[in-house]
């Protein structure tokens, strides 16, 4: 698509084709689209960063992180919102913003009040009036990695582990042993493996052990089913040859 009117054709899970008129953006699931998106927005974000030298900014595809004193960070984000709208007709969803106050003795209410006062005090921040839903003094998720106090990180990892264990159980409906194994390896196991590479071991070892036990048990059962299926297939093939 990339700004040109086009028609996207796809088939649903029952094989029924559908046609969707599209005018901008890229197709969800296209492996190259993430890189195309990053290359497209980088010049606009870069111009803002050249002016906002007091703010450290990192972007990972469609996630943007700004680190600075509150007033500086808000100024940077407000300018970025305007630039992306002007250059690319993109809207940053302000209600979905997260604001983390690390290493402070602020209560959550104090942090919210400080944020609200900062936004009201500067007319240039009017576009950020809806910010505040994601204020935290304990931690936040940065590119899928929990960052914050130990108790918050452990709670985050525990929830993720329970979710993965739930999803692993749902894979029981997949009768194809090879496909079942691939879903475990590339989808469910990958989530905890990512956390394991980016989170201190003592904060997640208890929960990764639970996930490992679940996956090992399921893979053993699926492996037995796959082995039996392969033996039957080879036996039939041998009979056909003879």
- Per-residue pLDDT tens over the stretch 82-136: 999 999 888 888 888 888 888 777 788 888 888 889 999 999 998 888 887 788 8
pLDDT digits (tens, 9 = 90+) for 180-195: 778 777 777 788 888 8
Lowest mean pLDDT among 55-59, 140-144, 147-151, 209-213: 209-213
Range of the domain at 206: 148-241
Q: Rg of the chain over CA atoms, in angstroms?
A: 24
Query: Where do runs of H (alpha helix) occur along 13-107?
Result: 33-51, 70-88
Check whether residue 157 and residue 230 sit in a common domain: yes
How many domains are there within the chain? Answer: 3
How far is Cα 70 from Cα 217, in angstroms, rounded to an integer? 48
Q: 14-18, 173-177, 194-198: which range is least confident on average?
A: 173-177
- Does an H or E element contain 99, and which? strand 98-100
Q: What is the pLDDT of residue 183?
A: 79
Tokens linked to 44? 């606009």
Model confidence at 197: pLDDT above 80 = yes
Neighbours of 109 (CB within 10 A): 10
Point out which residues pair with 6 in neighbouring strands.
22
Question: Is the domain of 114 the same as that of 130?
Answer: yes
Q: Are residues 57 and 131 in the same domain?
A: yes
Q: Does one domain contain both 118 and 57?
A: yes
Q: Is position 200 within any domain?
A: yes
For 18, the enclosing helix (H) or strand (E) is strand 17-22
Span 224-236, pLDDT tens digits: 444 444 334 443 4
The pLDDT value recorded for residue 72 is 92
Is 143 inside any structural domain?
Answer: no
Q: Is 47 exposed, middle or buried (0-12, 13-18, 19+ CB in 10 A)?
A: middle
- Cβ within 8 Å of residue 239, ≥6 positions away: none
- d(Cα 229, Cα 240) in Å, to the nearest integer? 17
Mean pLDDT for all residues in the chain: 80
What is the predicted pLDDT for the residue at 235?
Answer: 38
**pLDDT score at 208:** 81
Residue 142 counted as domain residue: no
| Same-domain check for residues 20 and 41 | no
Does residue 69 lie within any of the structural domains?
Answer: yes
Are residues 106 and 184 both part of a single domain?
Answer: no
Kindly report whether the global pTM for this prediction surpasses the value 0.75: no
pLDDT at residue 192 in the model: 82
């Amino acid at each position: 698509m990339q700004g040109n009117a086009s028609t996207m054709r796809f088939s649903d899970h029952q094989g029924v084709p559908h046609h969707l008129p599209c005018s901008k953006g890229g197709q969800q699931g296209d492996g190259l689209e993430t890189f195309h998106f990053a290359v497209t927005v980088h010049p606009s974000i870069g111009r803002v960063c050249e002016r906002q030298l007091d703010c450290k900014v990192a972007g990972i595809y469609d996630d943007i992180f700004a680190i600075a004193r509150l007033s500086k960070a808000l100024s940077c984000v407000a300018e970025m919102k305007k630039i992306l709208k002007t250059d690319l007709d993109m809207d940053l969803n302000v209600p979905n913003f997260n604001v983390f106050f690390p290493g402070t003795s602020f209560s959550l209410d104090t942090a919210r009040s400080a944020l609200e006062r900062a936004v009201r005090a500067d007319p240039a921040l009017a576009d950020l009036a809806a910010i505040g839903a994601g204020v935290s003094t304990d931690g936040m998720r940065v590119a899928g990695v929990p960052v914050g106090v130990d108790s918050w990180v452990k709670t985050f990892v525990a929830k993720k582990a329970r979710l993965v264990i739930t999803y692993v159980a749902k894979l029981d409906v997949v009768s194809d042993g090879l496909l079942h194994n691939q879903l475990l390896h590339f989808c469910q196991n990958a989530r905890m493996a990512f956390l394991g590479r980016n989170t201190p071991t003592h904060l997640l070892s208890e929960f990764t052990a639970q996930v490992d036990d679940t996956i090992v048990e399921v893979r053993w059962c699926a492996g037995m089913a796959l082995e039996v299926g392969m033996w039957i297939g080879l036996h039939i093939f041998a009979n056909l040859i003879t």
